[in-house]
Amino acid sequence: MKFGGINVQISKNATIGKNVRIGDNTVIYNNVTIGDDSVIANNCIIGEPIATYYSSEDYQNATTIIGKNALIRSHAIIYAGVTIGDGFQTGHRVTIREESVIGDQCGIGTNCDLQGFLTVGNHCHLHSEVHLCQYSKLGDFVFIYPSVILANDKHPPTTTAKGPSIGSYAQVGIQSSLIGDIRIGENCLVAAQSLVTKDFDDFSFILGSPAKLKGDVRNLLSDDGKPLYPWKERFSRGMPWSTES
């Protein structure tokens, strides 16, 4: 990839690793660390100041960390105070607000909006147009498909919002909404267009609006009669347990 070096602004207080490539019109603010072999594409902002920057004379940017081997595509905005592990990738026009912690080998799709103060585990993948509210919590290997919304308030407005929690290996289907301080257990499947407003245990098959328990995902079979879940036993592409060369 060739960048033109046009209008690139990098703070003297930023730490840029080895072999990092930075695209045109990109701004890297104070107290940003970018790991080795990363690519920050055109028109990105890394370490965007939070709201108090505009009202406080004593404002200091919180530390922002992006691990090694990142690929951050154009028009991404990552706020100050975000910590991201190794192998991170984004689509275009991604926003990640302050105080977010994201693990290793995660992917965030085009037009995703992560509203801050949230936690995302390792090997999580968000498809396009996903919205994660403040205080959301994702375990490891959580897959969230297009146009899913996590919201932190069942009865807006409120000053005590708490976000949904999704357990490891869970799958959330397209256009679903999870609202409030609820917990989705490990290895769950939330079917497309479901509206979830209550807790569900591990291995739940969740479907409907409002969502109800439809059974145990371990009883779901493919057309040839083989178990579909836990999905780890039938899917390995890009996963640590893959045997593909």
Q: So what's the pLDDT on residue 245?
A: 57
Q: So what's the pLDDT on residue 159?
A: 82
* Predicted confidence (pLDDT) per residue in 195-231, tens digit: 999 999 999 999 999 999 999 999 999 999 999 999 9
Cα distance between residue 116 and residue 203, in whole Å: 28
Cα distance between residue 92 and residue 108, in whole Å: 9
Q: Pick from 158, 128, 124: which is nearest to 138 by CA?
A: 124
The answer, yes or no, to whether residue 185 has pLDDT greater than 80, is yes
Q: So what's the pLDDT on residue 161?
A: 84
Cα distance between residue 59 and residue 49, in whole Å: 9
- 33, 86, 115, 143: CA torsion to nearest 10: 170
Q: So what's the pLDDT on residue 57?
A: 92
In angstroms, what CA-CA distances link 148 with 90, 127, 178?
17, 9, 8
Confidence grade of residue 243 (pLDDT, cut at 50, 70, 90): confident
* Predicted confidence (pLDDT) per residue in 87-120, tens digit: 999 999 999 999 999 999 999 999 999 999 999 9
Which residues have C-beta within 8 Å of that of residue 1, sequence separation ≥ 6?
21, 39, 41
Q: So what's the pLDDT on residue 1?
A: 54
Domain 9-233 has CATH 2.160.10.10: yes
**Ordered alpha helix ranges (H), 91-197:** none
Q: So what's the pLDDT on residue 242?
A: 86
Q: So what's the pLDDT on residue 158?
A: 81
Rounded average pLDDT over 149-167: 91
Higher-confidence residue of 3 and 165: namely 165
